[in-house]
Structure 1
Amino acid sequence: MSSVQPNEKVLRTAGRERRRAFVEAATRLFLEKGFHAVSIDAIVKAAGGSKASLYSYFGNKEALFGAVVEERARHFLETVTTGTAAAKSPEIALREMGRRFISLATRPDALALYRVVIAEAPRLPELAKMFFDSGPARTQRALADYLRHQHEAGVMHIPDPAASAEHLLGLLMGLFHLRAVLNLDTGDAETHVDGAVTAFLAACGRPAAASGGSRGIRN
């Protein structure tokens, strides 16, 4: 039986909802106007509540932006790495992962956040590092873990999973993502992903013709 009293549970739930409201309001404003142009007062006005409660949750605007980045990075990683069945061949698994990755990375909201981080990086390098650690670096680690299992199972030749994961992500992003950031025509995403995975497999070794299955990509 829980020792938490009903009114304590209500307060905790209300606190989580209030924190969520601040993060959601900050996300909308940061993506629309950029980090520097958004004030704490504007976030409080959009979310409701008070400046005192916002500061009690986050301390300052930089920490609030960090919460925005962390939340979006968590969702990104979960979406990219979920649904890669263990029985699928690496070729199929990597193509599916690549398509989810590119689809999410080139969404308008993802591109807006990327542009905000790039714009603020010279002035706020700690926020740029937080973005990198929460998003790209975590995605690389998850992909490297998957590739490591394929190497250990003898399905692929991946002696350096971390480097290979970085290479694959580079192939997937490349000029395709830069065109999206610059609001230029990117061409067909599936064709791009298929080409990137084909090039990667040619360099790292294709899956064995017969294998006992493979482990899925995990976050």
Structure 2
Amino acid sequence: MAAELSAHHRRLARQKREAIISAATELFLNRGYDGTSLARIAEAAAVSKSTLFKQFPTKAALFEAIVTESWRDADDTIARPQTGDLRSGLTSIGHRYADLIGRPGMTALFRIVIAELPRFPELGRMQFQLGKLPYFASVQHYLESEHEAGNADVPDAESAANQFLGMIANFVLWPRMLLTDWDPAPSDTRYAVEQAVQTMLARYSSGPSA
């Protein structure tokens, strides 16, 4: 019985956390970071102020959680495939990245950061250091491992990772930031990833993958 109650309490806590993060993201986007109070977030999430303050004592802590959870696929064990097949590895990374940055929540996060950057530069630092940088590093490390294994010729993995992720983001994310009706079909996104993979193979493959 104690175990069941503990599991129930953990589930409730997780649901409340998700509600808080969802409400905060929407309010930050609609009212601005500075114009949104923790009390208003608690009200929108239908939780008590004490519940919110227990999990997120400051607005900065809450935004940090939003960034971290938005980029949760940056976990190295998830984002890095095994070495040995450059085409397969890049394809896996590319589709996962397209799915990640194509989420509505990710678009909202970028919009919040861009809108508030002049007044709150720390939001940009959080987005970069806690979100984009770990994800980028995982791709760079994957390319380095393929290079070291002799499966690819990637003398500058940092530049290569920038090229690969940039090709995908340029189709999936950045038009969405400017065009409210940008919603490419899954087949179009798959094609964009495939073309990015082909470009990388043409430049960096050292074997028959291309």
The interval holding the TM-score normalised by the smaller chain is 0.7 to 0.9
Q: 2:163 aligns with which of 167, 170, 174?
A: 167
Secondary structure, counterpart of 1:128 in structure 2: helix
One-letter amino acid of the structure 2 residue matched with residue 118 of structure 1: I
Q: 2:109 aligns with which of 103, 113, 124?
A: 113
Corresponding residue number in structure 2 for 1:65: 63
Q: CA deviation at 1:198?
A: 1.7
Aligned residue-pair number: 203
Q: CA deviation at 1:81?
A: 3.7
Q: CA deviation at 1:80?
A: 10
Corresponding residue number in structure 2 for 1:191: 191
Corresponding residue number in structure 1 for 2:200: 200
The 1-side partners of 2:80 and 2:201 are apart by 21
Is the 8 Å Cα contact of residues 179 and 186 (structure 1) preserved in structure 2?
Answer: no
Are residues 1:145 and 2:141 paired?
A: yes
Secondary structure, counterpart of 1:135 in structure 2: helix
Secondary structure, counterpart of 2:33 in structure 1: coil
Distance verdict in 2 for CA 1:16–1:81, change over 3 Å? closer
Distance verdict in 2 for CA 1:178–1:11, change over 3 Å? closer
Is the 8 Å Cα contact of residues 91 and 193 (structure 2) preserved in structure 1?
Answer: yes
One-letter amino acid of the structure 1 residue matched with residue 74 of structure 2: L
* Deviation digits for residues 44-76 of structure 1 (CA, Å, limit 9, x no counterpart): 1123443344334322212211111111111x3
Is the 8 Å Cα contact of residues 95 and 193 (structure 1) preserved in structure 2?
Answer: yes
Distance verdict in 2 for CA 1:196–1:120, change over 3 Å? same
Q: CA deviation at 1:120?
A: 1.0
Q: CA deviation at 1:110?
A: 1.6
Is the 8 Å Cα contact of residues 140 and 157 (structure 2) preserved in structure 1?
Answer: yes
The 2-side partners of 1:186 and 1:12 are apart by 38
Is the 8 Å Cα contact of residues 156 and 207 (structure 1) preserved in structure 2?
Answer: yes
Corresponding residue number in structure 1 for 2:127: 131
Q: TM-score by structure 1 length?
A: 0.76
Corresponding residue number in structure 2 for 1:90: 86
Alignment root-mean-square deviation, CA: 3.3
User: Greater shift after overlay, 149-158 or 25-34?
Assistant: 25-34
The 2-side partners of 1:185 and 1:46 are apart by 28
Q: CA deviation at 1:38?
A: 2.5
Percent identical among aligned pairs is: 32
Is the 8 Å Cα contact of residues 90 and 207 (structure 1) preserved in structure 2?
Answer: no
Larger relative contact order (C-alpha < 8 A, sep ≥ 6)?
Answer: 1
Q: TM-score by structure 2 length?
A: 0.79
Q: CA deviation at 1:176?
A: 4.7
One-letter amino acid of the structure 2 residue matched with residue 96 of structure 1: S
The 2-side partners of 1:10 and 1:158 are apart by 47
Q: CA deviation at 1:108?
A: 2.1
Corresponding residue number in structure 1 for 2:53: 55
